[in-house]
Amino acid sequence: MGNAKKRVLSGMQPTGSLHIGHYLGVLTNYASLQPDYDCFFMIADWHSMTVFYPEFRKAHSFIPGIVSDWLAAGIDPEKAVIFLQSNVPMHSELQLILSMYTPVSWLERNPTYKEKQEIIDRDIDSHGFLGYPVLQAADILLYNAELVPIGEDQIPHLELTREIARRFNHFNVKDNDIFMLPKPLLSRFPKVLGTDGQKMSKSYGNTIMLTETPEKLDQKIRKMKTDTNRVRRNDPGNPENCPVYSYYDFFAEDKKSEISAACRNASIGCIECKKLIIERMNNVLDPFRTRKNEVDKNPDIVADILRDGARKAKDAAGETMDRVRDGMGFHF
Ligand code: SF4
């Protein structure tokens, strides 16, 4: 392959505009991987169809905004291949091939299959939803990705990809295995709390969006709940029970111990404490907003990046599909 860097593949579904949970949990991780790995970052629009198929046009409308968020967060098309899954039809071809090697029982056993059916308030009783781990396997194996950045809780999902790859290799024995077995690149995906103290999620209505103006950010943080024991200014508090304090981890780590002590002995009030974190958040978000504005002024930037990414992704996917077809005996 002529590239000494290990290849990494990761994807994000276009299910809505991005919030600071995505920024802190995923985008900063993507940006940090770029110097050391051969990165392929995919907008997984076919995956979003499993849930969003009745309103797929809407899911697709999020794509330009997501790409400009990625760029504003420092993901660089000169250092990583940024592409849209549906622009590379080989994902679908490999999914079909791998689906023949995947016993249905493996898919039914998939813990998220049952879990999601219970929590998602949509009709997802489809062949596509049951088979989404096969599409996931195709995404990873198509690029011969050696590493997949995941949290510890996602290891069983990657194991299913490895099982499918092993089974395919077993039935299509050549001098070398056709698929390399991908390994996890264990990454820390911090749980970011929303304005109500629950996990930040659009479905809870507790998000701070990346596109929030400084005024809106100010309003949201000022209204945030804090430690409920701090009713009056001189009540001592416990920062561990306060979602505002959790933002100090990401935006003002240098101030954490000082704020923790001041909260516990009531030498600081919540208004002052929130003011400081708002200022720190704006220090991080201001350059993001500026870069995003620049990209959004010129929609051709996103279109060009996706076109160029599709070309590079197709080249890499094409090499794999040549090996797959050859290994299986598709010679005519
Ligand atoms: S002082 Fe800060 S950490 Fe303590 S409860 Fe108020 S907002 Fe939370």
Per-residue model confidence (pLDDT) at position 112:
72
The rounded mean pLDDT for the chain is: 92
User: Of the residues 232, 263, 265, 276, which should be mutated to test ligand 1's pocket, given the most ligand atoms within 8 Å of the CB?
Assistant: 263
**Test site for ligand 1: of 268, 271, 276, 278, most ligand atoms within 8 A of the Cβ:** 268
Q: What separation in Å is there between the alpha carbon of 190 and the centre of ligand 1?
A: 20
Domain ranges within the chain, ordered by starting residue: 7-192+299-328, 212-293
Query: Of the candidates 47, 260, 250, which has an alpha carbon nearest to the alpha carbon of residue 133?
Result: 47
C-alpha count within 13 angstroms, C-beta hemisphere, residue 110: 24
Q: What is the pLDDT of residue 10?
A: 96
Buried b (16+ CB within 10 A) or exposed e, 226-264: bbeebeeeeeebebeebbbbbbbebbbeeeeeebbebbe
Query: Ligand 1: distance of its center to the CA of 241 in Å?
Result: 9
Least confident of 94-98, 156-160, 261-265: 156-160
- Whether 193 shows a pLDDT value over 90: the answer reads yes
1 falls in which pLDDT band (50, 70, 90)? Answer: very low
Mean pLDDT of 20-30: 92
For ligand 1, say whether the CB of 239 is within 6 Å of any of its atoms: yes
**Residue 230 beta carbon below 6 angstroms from any ligand 1 atom:** yes
CA of 284 to the centre of ligand 1 (A): 21
Answer yes or no: is the C-beta of 252 below 6 A from any ligand 1 atom: no
**Ligand 1 centroid distance, CA of 243 (Å):** 8
Give the orientation angle of helix 90-100 with respect to helix 155-171, to 10 degrees. Answer: 80
Domain 212-293's class?
A: mainly alpha
Taking the CA of residue 248 as reference, the ligand 1 atom at the shortest distance is: 3
pLDDT band at 111 (very low <50, low <70, confident <90, very high): confident
Whole-number percent of the chain with pLDDT over 70: 95
Atom of ligand 1 nearest to the CA of 268: 1
For residue 251, how far is its CA from the centre of ligand 1 (angstroms)?
Answer: 15
| Identical topology for domains 7-192+299-328 and 212-293 | no
For residue 52, name the pLDDT band (cuts at 50, 70, 90).
confident
Task: Tell me what pLDDT residue 120 has.
Answer: 63
> What is the per-residue pLDDT for 118?
64
Are 176 and 141 contacting, i.e. CB atoms less than 8 angstroms apart?
no
What pLDDT does 117 receive? 64
Residue 242 near ligand 1, beta carbon < 6 Å: yes
The mean per-residue pLDDT over the stretch 8-22 comes to 92
Q: What is the pLDDT of residues 223-281, one digit of tens each?
A: 999 999 998 999 999 999 999 999 999 999 999 999 999 999 999 999 999 999 999 99
Query: How many C-beta atoms surround the C-beta of residue 304 within 10 A?
Result: 12
Give the confidence band of 60 by pLDDT, cuts at 50, 70, 90.
confident
> Can you tell me the mean pLDDT for 5-25?
92
For 317-326, the pLDDT digits (tens) are: 999 999 999 9
- Ligand 1 geometric centre to CA of 249 (Å): 13
pLDDT number for residue 183:
95
Question: Would the CB of 73 count as within 6 Å of ligand 1?
Answer: no
Is 11's pLDDT higher than 50? yes
Ligand 1 pocket test, pick from 221, 223, 227 with the greatest ligand atom count within 8 Å of Cβ, gives 227
Give the residue-averaged pLDDT of 48-71.
89
Residue keyed to tokens 């279109």: 303
Mean pLDDT along residues 131-136: 95
Helix (H, G, I), strand (E, B), or coil: what is residue 220?
helix
Minimal-distance CA residue to ligand 1 atom 4: 263
CATH architecture of the domain with range 7-192+299-328: 3-Layer(aba) Sandwich (3.40)
What is the mean pLDDT of the segment spanning 133-142?
97
Q: Is the CB of 226 under 6 A from ligand 1?
A: yes
- What's the rounded mean pLDDT across residues 171-189? 87
Q: Is 268 in the pocket of ligand 1 (CB under 6 A)?
A: yes
